Amino acid sequence: MSDALALIAHDLKNALGGLEAELSQLIDEPTPVMAQRAHLHCSELRRQFIQFLTLYGARTNGLSALCEDESPGELLEALQRVWRVKLQMEGSPVLIEVPDPSHAPAFWYFDHRLVQLALDAAIHNAVRFARSTVWLDVRERDGWLVWSVQDDGAGLGSAEPSHANATGLGTALSEAVAQVHRHANRTGHISLAASPTGVGAEFTMALP
Amino acid sequence: MAYQGSLSHIHALIIEDMAVQQTTLRGQLALLGISEVDVAVNANDAHRLIKSRRYGLILCDFNLNQQTDGQQLFEHLRENSLLPPDCLFFMVTAESGYGSVAAATEHHPDAYLLKPITASDIEDRLKAMLEKRQALLPINSRLAKDDLPGALTAADEVLALRNRWFMPALQLKGQTLLKLGRHEEAKTAYQQALEVRKDLMWARLGLARAHKAAGQFSAAIKLAQEILDSKDGNKMVAAYDVMAESLEATGDPQGALWVLRDASLVVPSSRRHRLVGESAYRNGDLDMARTALSKATKASRGSIVAQPQDTLLLAQTLVDLGEPSEALRVVQDATPAYKNAPNFGVTALAIQAQVEVATGKTEQAEKTLVKARAGLSKGKADFGTVTLAKAELQAGHEEAGLALLHSAISADHENVRIKQMISKTLAETGHEDKIEAVIESAAAGMQSMVADARKLLRDSRIDDAVGIIENAVHEHPENTGVLLQAAQIQCMALRLKKTLDAERIDTIRDYLDRLDKLLPGQDRVTMMRRYFRETLGMLQAPEAQRVTS
């Protein structure tokens, strides 16, 4: 296992410790709110384990993309739906917006499951930094399908927020997913830069 | 917009051997409102259920811990048309490597779900696929009714929308054009798809098939080779098949054999071994036939994909190799499983008789032959007839053996494979000198009958011509050459009489349906269907004019 993966495994172990503590507290004073929170953290951890295993698989056996014609717009819509519910349950004030769904091309060839995993990780990251809103977008630009996840946080270079379970997992995974999308001598890539609006950061993933 | 309707009307089947997973999947379906759920624990179970009930959704585990995995089961169901057109098949897999399994095949399940899966994973894919089904329904419903021109119009209507379903509609359009025998337009459709995505496997294969169908065999072989040389195409067995069929069509059965052998190395399934075994046997490569057929029978033993023909051909190969007792053991081992399979009994008896002749039990062989003859009412162009003929020749019944071979060739005189088998049988039994006589005389008899019918047609004696060819069809109901000629002569009769004779039209439809069964997917049948449609079109046009004027 590489150093990066070991580091991530270490973080996952710590998060599991956090969950264990929550559960023991739950034994002492069982409350629905507490149980709800523990459940949320548990499913969050499970999500991270799936990412970790996908990334581990990518490093050891190589990841392969099974690209079919998919609707980028519908994937974005589904992510927005899932995240809205999740944030509501967590009591987070952050809004998830898709400002202009009409830009999405009718179809594109990509691996639905892998791209969903990568975008989910990017949104997770953006939500941690965002003050009030995360904007999602997908459009065709110069023959590339460009996904973007933008937040209105303090931007790059700012101190890591105190939120727990921060790992480099999401970025490493998105990068691996982008790189297995190849077509006509072009390879997918990601970038993380200051947002063009001047506030916050923007994650983009371009697929050929 | 994704499908918004309720899912509760869907009847689902879970194919999964692990009890825990069964419960999980059942619970997830219940969350989606799907409560009518059956469970199969293995492929045989699933096969039985699918034949008896109509499912809207099948969730199948890829690893069934049996000799048949999920992909084999799926392909078996597809090839035997056991899945209703509106049934969605989702593969559930623990391995992210399933992508490479799927890449090796042309038949993809409607979705693949990687464990651990959640109810919303199933819901998302289910709704997307239901929407797809809805969008393509105008095309598929016409294809199901064999209304090819209607399907083509419907495909063009979907394409004009340039929406989410553009590519699947283009794929259906290509397939429909190929079925219509319109190769050049099919090529254009596939090229259009390749402009969107130049590595699209279905479009590359479609293009190769369109060239093959148009008789451009070297171009078809080149395109198939390019698929196999590409990174994602090296396991695409359908490309090997295009190549093998093209080689066989250009009179190179040996070349076809080597291509099929390569395919079986890439995807060592029982089906691939079967194809190699059959081709190797015809080409006289008995060692290769033995190896391939042993693998085929071993891999499929006790499974739904097992076929009696594998065992019989293996036994015949062993007799030819001079191992009669081994041959007998193979047949006896398989008899309980296949005792009700059609033709198994006669062929098994014929092989048994050959074994008895080879081991000097002449008297016993005679008794066995009596039983075998009783099971075969009329010679057909099949392995059973040739095997019995071989037994007769080996037992010294030259006349009976030659008569059977004659009936086999008359039953389908243009069948290259049967000709190959018959030549081989005659050569092996010391009747090499009769090859030409048996094959040529039967074929010549057929050809002169056809020539007579055509001459009568030219002399405007339409009914006499039709009489001759109908007689030939009656005598040889499975002779593909005769059926093709008969369909053509009947079409010409329609054209000459300039009337839409309903009875004649039904007769032609019957011939074409028989041809579809005897020569599935073959280009000659496609072309005859096209000729029939054009004939109807010609006759309908003036009628329509008369009505409107």
pLDDT digits (tens, 9 = 90+) for A51-66: 788 778 777 777 778 8
> Is A63 in CB contact (< 8 Å) with chain B?
yes
> In terms of Cα–Cα distance, which of B121, B89, B126, B82 is closest to B107?
B89
Which of chain B's residues have a Cβ under 8 Å away from the Cβ of A109? 197
Asked if pLDDT for residue A193 goes beyond 60, the answer is yes
Residues of A in contact with B98 (CB under 8 A): 66
CATH 1.25.40.10 for domain B146-251, yes or no, is yes
Question: What is B462-548's CATH number?
Answer: 1.25.40
Distance CA B104, CA B346 (A): 38
Classify the complex by whether its ipTM is higher than 0.90, answering yes or no: no
Check if the beta carbon of residue B243 is closer than 8 Å to that of residue B226: no
Kindly report the number of other CB atoms within 10 A of residue B135's CB atom: 18
Give the pLDDT score at B291: 95
Q: Which residue of B has its CA nearest to A56?
A: B96
A-chain residues near B114 (CB < 8 A): 113
CATH code (residue A161): 3.30.565.10
Q: State the pLDDT confidence band at B175, using cuts at 50, 70 and 90.
A: very high
Which candidate, B393, B305, B383, places its Cα nearest to that of B344? B383
| Size (chain B), residues | 549
Tokens of B378: 């009329």
Of A82, A107, A113, nearest to B164 by CB-CB distance is A107
For B432, which DSSP code?
Answer: G
**pLDDT of the residue at B70:** 87
Q: Which two tokens stand for residue B478?
A: 């499975």
Q: What does DSSP assign to residue A161?
A: P
Give residue limits of the domains in chain B: 12-137, 146-251, 253-305, 462-548
CB contact under 8 A, A74 and B128: yes
Q: What is the DSSP string of B33-72?
A: T---EEEESSHHHHHHHHHHS--SEEEEES--SSSS-HHH
Sequence-ordered list of residues with C-beta below 8 angstroms from that of B180, at least 6 positions apart, any chain: B148, B149, B152, B526, B529, B530, B533
Which pair of structure tokens corresponds to residue B351? 């092989």
Cβ atoms of B227 and B204 within 8 Å: the answer is yes
Mean pLDDT, chain B, as a whole number? 89
Residues B135-146: tens digit of each pLDDT: 999 998 898 888
* Count of the separate structural domains present in chain A: 1
CB pairs under 8 A between A and B: 48
Cβ B370 vs Cβ B353: under 8 Å: no
Look at the block and give the residue holding tokens 């098994």: B348
Report whether B122 contacts B28 (CB < 8 A).
Answer: yes
Are the beta carbons of B49 and B38 closer than 8 angstroms?
A: yes
Q: How would residue A164 be classed by pLDDT, with cut points 50, 70 and 90?
A: very low
The predicted model gives B443-458 an average pLDDT of 86
Range of the domain at A81: 3-207
pTM recorded for the entire structure? 0.81
Distance CA B116, CA A46 (A): 10
Say if residue B227's pLDDT is above 90.
yes
Q: Are B359 and B395 in contact (CB under 8 A)?
A: no
Identical fold, B146-251 and B462-548: yes
**CATH topology for the B12-137 domain:** Rossmann fold (3.40.50)
The beta-carbon neighbor of B96 closest among A57, A69, A74 is A57
pLDDT 10s digits, A28-54? 888 888 888 888 888 878 878 887 887
* Per-residue pLDDT tens over the stretch B357-387: 999 999 999 999 999 999 887 888 889 999 9
